[in-house]
Structure 1
Amino acid sequence: MKQRFTGSSQYVATDDLMLAVNASITLERPLLIKGEPGTGKTMLAEEIARELGRELIVWPIKSTTKAQHGLYEYDAVSRLRDSQLGDARVNEIRNYIVKGKLWQAFEADTAPVLLIDEIDKADIEFPNDLLRELDQMEFFVHETQEFVRARVRPIILITSNNEKELPDAFLRRCFFHYIRFPERDTMQAIVDAHYPGLAPQLVSEALELFFGIRELPGLKKKPSTSELLDWLRLLDAEAVSTEQLRQSQAAQALPPLAGALLKNEQDTQLFGRLLQMARLRRGA
């Protein structure tokens, strides 16, 4: 079974990202991944699991998620209902322990990939509440008075969109990597990996427009890698030609299917104002 991640045909990983993944595996520490939304943080976990031949366990974090949810939950309501119905299951409390994602990862015979996705969405205390579990690879089940210990240490990836700062005590236990937004050559490789059949001229013109939009001053939300891929898919599906893209750029107009790139009215209006100012300067 592979122990090192070297990228995949569907995921173009830079050398420093591969180094970070393999460093976290060697150190047996969680890999904390930050970067703009849409830069492939979640997909990275999927590709690591696929390439290393491991099970992927995903724990998506919400604003209401508590650390306890990842360990287990005691379903007291079901037990009460069963007791009222005279069900014999009530005599065994284990029947009402619902295992969380961390428990599932601890039970695996072969180290799985555990993705704790968007940890910064949770309460500020959430990371600190997981310190012992991530450090010692064990937790205590109060209802059954037993410890649950990991059979093997899982490969843990934790993603964050930087919505809030994470505690220092938590950061000390992680290996950190920031996924920088891809440069033109890397983005070209990403596009080629996903859509190898697209016309090179169309991709080149689309990338020119895409990076031009990202450089506009004042954008509330810059288009991401995933949005570029969606846009290219639409351009191909709607048979938009390279010439149509060039014409929109020459006319200083919104590119075709711009709704895949600009996701709110403020940015669309800003784009329109900038185009209008450019036309005025050109006509002056």
Structure 2
Amino acid sequence: MSFTGTETYVATDDLQLAVNAAITLQRPLLVKGEPGTGKTLLAEEVAKSLGKPLIQWHIKSTTKAQQGLYEYDAVSRLRDSQLGRDSAKDISNYIKKGKLWEAFTADEQVVLLIDEIDKADIEFPNDLLVELDKMEFFVYETGATIKAITRPIVIISSNNEKELPDAFLRRCFFHYINFPDRATMQKIVEVHYPGIKQQLVQDALNIFFDVRKVPGLKKKPSTSELVDWLKLILADDIPEEVLTSRDTTKAIPPLYGALLKNEQDVQLLERLAFMHRREQK
């Protein structure tokens, strides 16, 4: 059992190696990289490739580690008790299973995605150390210990918004997804748009990588944004000469809203174009 990518996901050799190493070591795979480089999608494709169910836990700034284990609804139990309902006698009726509980007790090995772990409080990773290491946790309300039947394949994504604790990092196999080079990007485009004209791809990639090279950009366009931009170009049937001409006095590419996501970057390119026009006079 090894991951080699899928028909819809281009995985580089080093990424395949990282996934398979984490599976062999039975360690969580911690994946970092620029937003839009396919970190979340990786878990979906690993599950698809290996034929395993996927359980996703998307982390927010308010998410607590305990929610991944279970939550006890004491208020509902108290209300039902006051109403004389029989369900109140069994405390297990008021325990909601979290994503880790689901993954631990699944009938078969699953892929568990803990997505954007750096969004949570700094203590969040530390609060999951024992659970991810020993693959078990204790339910205080019932006195039961929930232990993984089959150790899940754990993939953890991070956008590097916060530094993760050393103790947490020691328990993970780490991989940084480098931004795709031109050859890899061509393969990605071909996966999304089979049979697309190669000249159109080359011209689009020229503009895309030129924009990424502009110093001072607040947010560089990502892989997913390139895919969206090409979709618009194909949908609007923009003539190839619009991309081929590459008028350097017009730094803003057509349909730039798919590539640039804030006004500062748009204004930056407009200023560069204005400066270039002045130099040519």
Q: Relative to structure 2, which stretch is displaced further, 225-234 or 245-254?
A: 245-254
1:265 aligns with 2:255: no
Q: Which residue of 2 aligns with 1:86?
A: 84
Q: Which residue of 2 aligns with 1:119?
A: 117
Q: Is 1:249–1:255's contact at 8 Å kept on the other side of the alignment?
A: no
* Count of residues in Structure 1 that have an aligned counterpart in Structure 2: 281
d(CA) in 2 for partners of 1:74 and 1:239? 55
Q: Which residue of 1 aligns with 2:205?
A: 207
1:19 to 17, 20, 34: 17
TM-score, structure 2 normalization: 0.98
Residue type of the partner of 1:162? N
d(CA) in 2 for partners of 1:254 and 1:137? 51
d(CA) in 1 for partners of 2:57 and 2:115? 6
Offset, 1:78: 1.6
Gaps of 5+ in 1: none
Offset, 1:204: 1.1
The CA RMSD over aligned residues, in Å, is 1.0
1:140-180 per-position Cα deviation (integer Å, ceiling 9, x unaligned): 00000110000010000000000010000000000000000
1:89-123 per-position Cα deviation (integer Å, ceiling 9, x unaligned): 10110000000000000011211000000000111
SS of residue paired to 1:115? strand
Q: Is 1:198–1:236's contact at 8 Å kept on the other side of the alignment?
A: no
1:74-98 per-position Cα deviation (integer Å, ceiling 9, x unaligned): 0112212222322211011000000
Q: Which residue of 1 aligns with 2:275?
A: 277
1:64-103 map, 5 Å: 64-103=62-101
1:1-284 map, 5 Å: 3-247=1-245, 249-283=247-281
SS of residue paired to 1:233? helix
1:235-269 per-position Cα deviation (integer Å, ceiling 9, x unaligned): 11111121112345354241111000000000000
Q: Is 1:248–1:254's contact at 8 Å kept on the other side of the alignment?
A: no
Q: Is 1:209–1:249's contact at 8 Å kept on the other side of the alignment?
A: no
Q: Is 2:137–2:145's contact at 8 Å kept on the other side of the alignment?
A: yes
d(CA) in 1 for partners of 2:10 and 2:177? 12
Residue type of the partner of 1:145? G
Gaps of 5+ in 2: none
d(CA) in 1 for partners of 2:249 and 2:174? 44
Q: Percent identity?
A: 68
1:8-59 per-position Cα deviation (integer Å, ceiling 9, x unaligned): 1111000000000000000000000000000000000000000100010000
Residue type of the partner of 2:138? F
Q: Relative to structure 2, which stretch is displaced further, 250-259 or 152-161?
A: 250-259
SS of residue paired to 1:249? coil
Q: Is 2:229–2:259's contact at 8 Å kept on the other side of the alignment?
A: yes
d(CA) in 2 for partners of 1:86 and 1:200? 71
Name segments (4+ residues, structure 1) moved above 4 Å. Answer: none
SS of residue paired to 1:222? coil
d(CA) in 1 for partners of 2:13 and 2:214? 29
Q: Is 1:75–1:97's contact at 8 Å kept on the other side of the alignment?
A: yes
Q: Is 2:136–2:146's contact at 8 Å kept on the other side of the alignment?
A: yes
d(CA) in 1 for partners of 2:208 and 2:176? 22
Q: Relative to structure 2, which stretch is displaced further, 193-202 or 131-140?
A: 193-202
